[in-house]
């Protein structure tokens, strides 16, 4: 039986961003499932468990942090990478303290994202930080 590719969940309310992130991950041979909001993603966990979640922080309804807390409460131990268009230092500290593998501000480079995803999948602790700013 062939090895299954790691499944990465991308949750973002912005369709174009959601699609672009999925393409980056697929180009690096990950399987990707995409969700438009946190509610749909949490609902999907009843049927499939991804290996990592790339979670937009600012979404209508449940925010990325709400989803992160829901995962913690459910003790699912799913590695979470938070991405956001609003860089807030205090937010970065909070989400990392709550167990997020990484916190990135948009736009983010593919190699940074892939490195974070890889480390998340290997459950290796990631040095707290963000991607280099895109110039």
Partner 1 sequence: MRGQGSDGLLGRPLAGHVLGAAAVAAGYYATAQLGEALKFPHAPVSALWFPNALLMGALLLAPRRYWWAYLLAVVPAHLMAQMPLADVPLARILIQYTMNVATALIGAYALTSRAPVSLRFDRVLPAWRLVFFGGLLAPFITSVLLAAAFLTTNLDQGFWLTTGARTLTNSFAILTLVPLMVHAAERLRAPRRPRNLAHVIEGVLLTIALAVAGMAALLAPPITGVAAAAILFLPLPMLLWAAARFGVAGSAAALLLLGALTICGVLEGSGPFAAQANAHETLSVVVFLVITAVPLLLLAAALEERRDLESAHAASEALHGAVLASIQDQVVILDREGRVIDANDSWRQLREHIPAAPFVKLQIGDDFLQHCRETAALGVSAATQLGTSIGEVIAGQAAHHRIEFAAHSARGIAWFEVTIEPLRRSDGGAVLVWSDATHRKQAEANERAQQQQLVHLGRAAVLGELSGAFAHELTQPLTSILGNAEAALQLLSGPDVDLREIRSMVRDIVADDVRAAEVIQRLRAMLTRGEISREAVDLANVIKDVLDLARVDLHTRHVAVDVEFDPYLPLVLGDRIQLQQVVLNLVVNACEAMSSTDVQRRRIHLNARFDSASCEVVCEIRDHGTGIGREDLERIFQPFVTTKTLGLGMGLAICRTIIEAHGGRLWAKNLPEGGASFSFTARLGS
List interacting residues with partner 1 (CB under 8 A): 14, 16-17, 19-21, 23-24, 26-28, 58, 60, 85-86, 105-110, 134
Taking the least distance from each CB to partner 1, the nearer of 26 and 123 is 26
**Residue 28 in contact with residue 118, Cβ under 8 Å?**
no
Cα(67)–Cα(50) distance, integer angstroms: 14
Q: How far is the CB of 14 from partner 1 (least distance, A)?
A: 5
Q: How far is the CB of 94 from partner 1 (least distance, A)?
A: 17
- Residue 5, both tokens: 């590719």
Q: How far is the CB of 125 from partner 1 (least distance, A)?
A: 26
Cα(21)–Cα(1) distance, integer angstroms: 29
């Amino acid at each position: 039986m062939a090895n299954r590719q790691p499944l990465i969940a991308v949750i973002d309310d912005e369709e174009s961003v959601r699609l672009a992130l999925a393409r980056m991950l697929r180009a690096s041979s990950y399987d990707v499932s995409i969700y438009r909001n946190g509610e749909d993603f949490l609902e999907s966990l009843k049927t499939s468990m991804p290996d990592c979640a790339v979670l937009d922080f600012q979404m209508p309804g449940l925010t990325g942090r709400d989803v992160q807390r829901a995962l913690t409460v459910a003790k699912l131990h799913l590695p979470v990478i938070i991405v956001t268009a609003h860089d807030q230092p205090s937010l970065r500290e909070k989400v990392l303290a709550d167990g997020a593998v990484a916190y990135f501000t948009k736009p983010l480079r593919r190699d940074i994202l892939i490195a974070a995803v890889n480390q998340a999948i290997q459950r290796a602790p990631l040095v707290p930080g963000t991607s280099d700013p895109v110039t």
